[in-house]
Amino acid sequence: MARVVIVSGFRICPEGSGAQVRTSGIARALARSGYEVLIYSLGGRREDYHFPPRRFRRSDPIENRLVEETNLGLGFGLAQAVLRRLGYPRTWQHWLMSRGLIPRRLRAALSSADVIVSDMVFCAPVPGPWFGKPWFLISHQIEHKLLEHVGQGRQSFVDRVRKIETEAPTRFSDIFAVSEDDQDFFRANDPSGRLRVPIVRCGVDINAYVPAADDRRRVRSELGMKDDDWLIVFSGSRFGPNLDALDRLKQFARNEAAFLAKERVYFLVLGSIEPTANREGAVISTGRVPSVKPYFAASDAGINPMTLGAGSNVKLFEYLAASLPVISTAFGARGTELQPERDYIPIEHGELKGAIAKFVTRGDRAYWREFAEAVLARHRRSIDIGEAVADAIKGVRDFPPP
């Protein structure tokens, strides 16, 4: 059985962000294909560090053939906490790894691996006896393009990250891109033309979004929703572009309170994007939840009003997997195969009111359920992470069979 080690800068499971959902989905897909998979995470979460200190945390099996081990050494933990708070990208992590400064247990994992996968470009290939092994990169976005939007004017960060990403095609066996834009970037910086750069979109495990029979009624009752209320979900973590979109959504809800009340429309802000549960007019926030699935079941549509960022949005794929019709900006639909009108209701020129009016007047819930199921059927191969990973590794040189 071939052994895959996925090296991540931070703990992946349980998933709390879109990037973690995608990495976890790729790991699960590989494990289900027959690989023995270890996710080795260089840093933990705040709750992982306590007294007396532990050197590492090893999870129970996440599923068959898949576990995660998290390094809890104070060096990586403190660097992660301090530099993240200061707004620094993970160039420090790239510097350490490219010089072989890694925990002893990661060295042992790399020694026993048949194939190594870096989660994000900051997890540089590590010099050592394993250096000749197949080593792949999961790219979630072109990081320097994101920094150009949210880097607070620190051009030196942008330049350094651009250099790391420009050099990536010469350092990895191949790169799993998230979209055509990312694929084009890495191919353009591959002077040998050696890499295939297959696309693994922000797909998800479709079966994980099948609701329990009572989820919709129970959650809507808890939220105080009546049968004829429209509930539109916006999910996300506390990530700069998400927060920007949330601010605009809240401002819209305040400005159009009368319109939303007349049409009985509410927005459900789902996940850690809001630190605590609260309610302000038509905006209902849950805070962090153990599972998004029941809340998707309670919703009538998913909204993706993003105008900033890079790569693609996992939330969009989650909406599709949950058979929710989608309301989105064209920018929010980047990195997908979706077509406006045919596959989603577009927010044109930032005109959210028109898109919502179109949603509530075009059809009832049965109509929109049928619409969403047709979209899922058309795009299932790119939405299902298992299918996407199988397609990607099929033609990649040096990725061994399980």
pLDDT in tens, 124-151: 999 999 988 999 999 999 999 888 876 5
225: left (phi over 0), alpha (psi -120 to 50) or beta: beta
- CATH code, domain carrying 11: 3.40.50.2000
pLDDT in tens, 180-232: 999 999 999 999 999 999 999 998 999 999 999 999 999 999 999 999 999 99
For residues 30 and 155, membership in a common domain is answered with yes
For residues 186 and 216, membership in a common domain is answered with no
pLDDT in tens, 314-344: 999 999 999 999 999 999 999 889 999 999 9
Residue 402 lies in a domain: no
Q: Looking at this protein, which amino acid is placed at residue 287?
A: G
Residue 400 lies in a domain: no
For residues 250 and 362, membership in a common domain is answered with yes
Give 231 or 157, the one with higher predicted confidence: 231
Instruction: Look at residue 152 and tell me whether its pLDDT is greater than 60.
Output: no
pTM of the model: 0.90
Instruction: Look at residue 45 and tell me whether its pLDDT is greater than 80.
Output: yes
For residues 70 and 212, membership in a common domain is answered with no
Which string of DSSP letters, residue by residue, matches 67-113? EEEEE--HHHHHHHHHHHHTT--THHHHHHHHTT---HHHHHHHHH-
Give 87 or 215, the one with higher predicted confidence: 215
List the single range of 61-65, 148-152, 171-175, 265-269 with lowest mean pLDDT.
Answer: 148-152
Give the residue numbers spanning the domain of 189.
3-204+385-394
Number of domains in the chain: 2
Distance between CA 4 and CA 65 in Å, rounded?
A: 10
For residues 191 and 214, membership in a common domain is answered with no
Distance between CA 295 and CA 156 in Å, rounded?
A: 41
